[in-house]
């Protein structure tokens, strides 16, 4: 069919080159997509087992945290004045109850003192890189932030409590970041960037950072899950899973965390290691650790790609599923414990 193009004896050399280039591009694209999306083991499918007693208690505690943060405190930002302090007071009280000593990292933004809060679970090795588990406790101005990000804060509180008596090799730092949301997002005043920069200045090795960003919204409705262009060809259309998200440099961490979750949790999960400039991939505190070349991932319900109430005043507690969230957080506990015990 190509004989009419070029010489009478066969296809033109230009067409041959064009076809060869097309094949190379298709192979390269397929290889890139495979590297981004291929994860170990299979995502959980089928009916959920009954919640264990531990998971039932966890669901209750998660609900309590989110209700207080999004309902009693509500908007959590430099404006209204005092809302960040109320949030900090709650976090301190719960962390002290769990047996921790809270450390502050205070800095000034627009003339106001703001703080990251940190607690540490010391590991048996003083030379192994630490693990940072973090969530931002502020909200977009004018929003109650139940899913974004009271759920991540609640999960971090409960992981600190659940792991308190563990004897692990690596030290774990649980950190509550201020100023993740606009107008501070990805600026020098973003709490997690301030924290990550200090780690780097102090020469602290970090083996893994996990950002817990929106963990409470799930849907079994067909078409409830959206994606950046083309990713819908590779992932489920129902928003009933939790996602592990990293950049190509953090691919090993994405795969390792996804594997650990699938080994221990009976809950659907997906993973991706995609370019940081792809929509949604770098939209949380893990981005700050990438700036310091630390391996970091986000665990999320995928935010605006699923939750229609994202960054609105309708992001409230009653729209969340705390039983599913408890299954997810219980699975993350196993992930963190496994990462912390690695050589």
Tens digits of per-residue pLDDT, 285-325? 999 999 999 999 999 999 999 999 999 999 999 999 999 99
Residue 271: pLDDT over 70: yes
Q: With beta carbons less than 8 A apart as the criterion, state whether 289 and 176 touch.
A: no
Share of the chain above pLDDT 70, in %: 90
Q: pLDDT tens-digit profile of 182-238?
A: 999 999 999 999 999 999 999 999 999 999 999 999 999 999 999 998 899 899 999
Question: pLDDT digit string (tens) for 84-126?
Answer: 999 999 999 999 999 999 999 999 998 999 999 999 999 999 8
Our measurement of the distance from residue 130's CA atom to the centroid of its chain's CA atoms, rounded to an integer in Å, reads 18
pLDDT at position 279: 94
pLDDT > 70? residue 5: no
In this prediction, residue 186 carries a pLDDT of 97
Domains of the chain and CATH, by start: 1-37 (no CATH), 45-340 (3.40.630.10)
Angle 306-268-333 from CA coordinates, rounded to 5°: 100
Q: Model pTM?
A: 0.91
Q: Residue 92's closest CA among 131, 119, 53?
A: 119
Q: Where does the pLDDT of residue 35 fall: very low under 50, low under 70, confident under 90, or very high at 90 and above?
A: confident
Residues 336 and 210: beta-carbon distance below 8 Å: yes
Q: Which of the two residues, 46 and 12, has the higher pLDDT score?
A: 46
Could you give the CA distance from residue 4 to residue 330 in angstroms, rounded to a whole number?
65
Determine the pLDDT at residue 110: 86
CB neighbour list of residue 208: distance below 8 Å, 6 or more residues apart:
129, 131, 132, 253, 257, 295, 296, 297, 339
Which residue, among 133, 145, 174, 119, has the nearest Cα to 65 in the 3D structure? Answer: 145
The reported pLDDT for the residue numbered 10 is 53
The helix (run of H) or strand (run of E) holding residue 182 is none
* Percent of the chain predicted with pLDDT > 90: 86
Residue 328 tokens read as 């997810």
Residue 19 has pLDDT above 80, yes or no: no
Inter-CA distances, 216 with 16, 147, 158, 264, Å: 53, 6, 14, 19
Phi, psi of 318, deg, nearest 5 = -65, -10
Q: What is the band of 27 on the pLDDT scale with cuts at 50, 70, 90?
A: very low
Model confidence at 239: pLDDT above 70: yes
Cβ neighbours, 10 Å, residue 312: 14
Which band of pLDDT confidence, cut at 50, 70 and 90, is reported for residue 60?
very high
Distances (CA, A) of 98 to 60, 72, 93: 16, 22, 9
Tens of pLDDT along 124-156? 998 999 999 999 999 999 999 999 999 999 999
Predicted pLDDT of residue 34: 59
């Amino acid at each position: 069919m190509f004989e009419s193009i070029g010489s009478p004896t066969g296809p033109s050399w230009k067409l041959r080159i064009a076809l060869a280039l097309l094949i190379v591009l298709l192979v390269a694209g397929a290889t890139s997509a495979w590297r981004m999306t291929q994860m170990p083991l299979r995502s959980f499918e089928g009916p959920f087992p009954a919640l264990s007693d531990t998971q039932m208690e966890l669901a209750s505690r998660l609900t309590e945290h989110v209700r207080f943060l999004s309902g009693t405190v509500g908007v959590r930002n430099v404006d209204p004045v005092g809302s960040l302090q109320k949030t900090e007071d709650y976090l301190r009280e719960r962390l002290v109850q769990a047996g921790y000593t809270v450390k502050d990292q205070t800095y000034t933004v627009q003339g106001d003192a703001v703080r990251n809060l940190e607690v540490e679970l010391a590991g048996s090795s003083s030379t192994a890189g630490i693990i940072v588990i973090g969530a931002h406790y502020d909200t977009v101005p004018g929003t109650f932030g139940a899913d974004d990000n009271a759920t991540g804060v609640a999960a971090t509180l409960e992981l600190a409590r659940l792991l308190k008596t563990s004897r692990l090799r690596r030290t774990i730092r649980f950190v509550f970041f201020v100023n993740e949301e606009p107008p501070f997002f990805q600026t020098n005043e973003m709490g997690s960037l301030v924290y990550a920069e200090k780690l780097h200045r102090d020469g602290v090795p970090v083996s893994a950072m996990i950002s817990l960003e929106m963990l409470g919204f799930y849907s079994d409705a067909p078409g409830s899950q959206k994606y950046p262009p083309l990713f819908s060809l590779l992932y489920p259309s129902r928003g009933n899973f939790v996602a592990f998200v990293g950049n190509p440099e953090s691919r090993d961490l994405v795969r390792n965390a996804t594997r650990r979750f699938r080994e221990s949790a009976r809950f659907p999960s997906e993973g991706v290691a995609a370019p940081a400039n792809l929509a949604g991939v770098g939209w949380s505190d893990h981005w700050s650790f990438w700036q310091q070349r630390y391996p970091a991932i986000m665990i999320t319900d995928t935010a605006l790609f699923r939750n229609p109430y994202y960054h609105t005043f309708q992001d409230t507690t009653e729209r969340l599923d705390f039983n599913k969230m408890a299954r997810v957080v219980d699975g993350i506990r196993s992930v963190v414990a496994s990462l912390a015990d690695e050589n």
